[in-house]
């Protein structure tokens, strides 16, 4: 569990770097709306998330059942992340801080769901 947790933190840091860079690129450089940028960013980040967790964190082989569980996990956390991001908007904070609050809130729940549901041996 300790090795998985450490690998998850490392992979997550890379993924969150990707999220923040994409959000900045889409919003501040390309002028996309915050909500559209968040949607696009998370779609890209979750593809990276699946493969890095599958191969690096939990060291499992791809299977149809894992992919189905991951898609259900993805839909659930995509909705949760977008809902939390929307609610965080009421705080009138900078969009990157709202993004950080969303990520930090879901972080432990995501790990537990991945470990005990999606990539369970």
**CB distance 85 to 38 below 8 Å:** yes
Q: What is the pLDDT of residue 2?
A: 81
**CB distance 27 to 37 below 8 Å:** yes
Residue 42 has pLDDT above 90, yes or no: no
Report the candidate in 78, 8, 76 with the shortest Cα–Cα distance to residue 38.
78
Q: What is the pLDDT of residue 95?
A: 83
Spans of all domains in the chain? 2-118
Task: Give the predicted TM-score (pTM) of the model.
Answer: 0.72
For the residues 15-37, what does the mean pLDDT come to?
93
What string of H, E and C letters represents the secondary structure of the chain? CHHHHHHHHHHHHHHHHHHHHHHHHHHHHCCCCHHHHHHHHHHHHHHHHHHHHHHHHCCCCCCHHHHHHHHHHHHHHHHHHHHHHHHHHHHCCCHHHHHHHHHHHHHHHHHHHHHHHHCCC
Residue 1 has pLDDT above 80, yes or no: no
Q: Which two tokens stand for residue 104?
A: 């930090």
Q: Which two tokens stand for residue 103?
A: 């990520």
The per-residue pLDDT for range 51-109, each reduced to its tens digit, is: 999 999 999 999 999 999 999 998 998 899 889 988 888 888 888 888 888 888 998 99
């Amino acid at each position: 569990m300790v090795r998985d947790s450490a690998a998850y933190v490392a992979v997550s840091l890379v993924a969150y770097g990707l999220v923040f860079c994409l959000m900045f690129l889409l919003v501040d450089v390309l002028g996309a709306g915050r909500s559209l940028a968040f949607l696009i960013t998370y779609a890209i980040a979750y593809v990276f998330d699946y493969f890095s967790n599958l191969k690096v964190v939990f060291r499992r082989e791809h299977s149809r059942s894992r992919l189905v569980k991951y898609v259900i996990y993805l839909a659930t956390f995509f909705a949760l992340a977008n809902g939390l991001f929307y609610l965080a908007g009421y705080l009138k904070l900078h969009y990157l801080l709202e993004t950080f609050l969303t990520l930090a809130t879901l972080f432990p729940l995501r790990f537990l769901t991945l470990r005990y549901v999606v990539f369970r041996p």
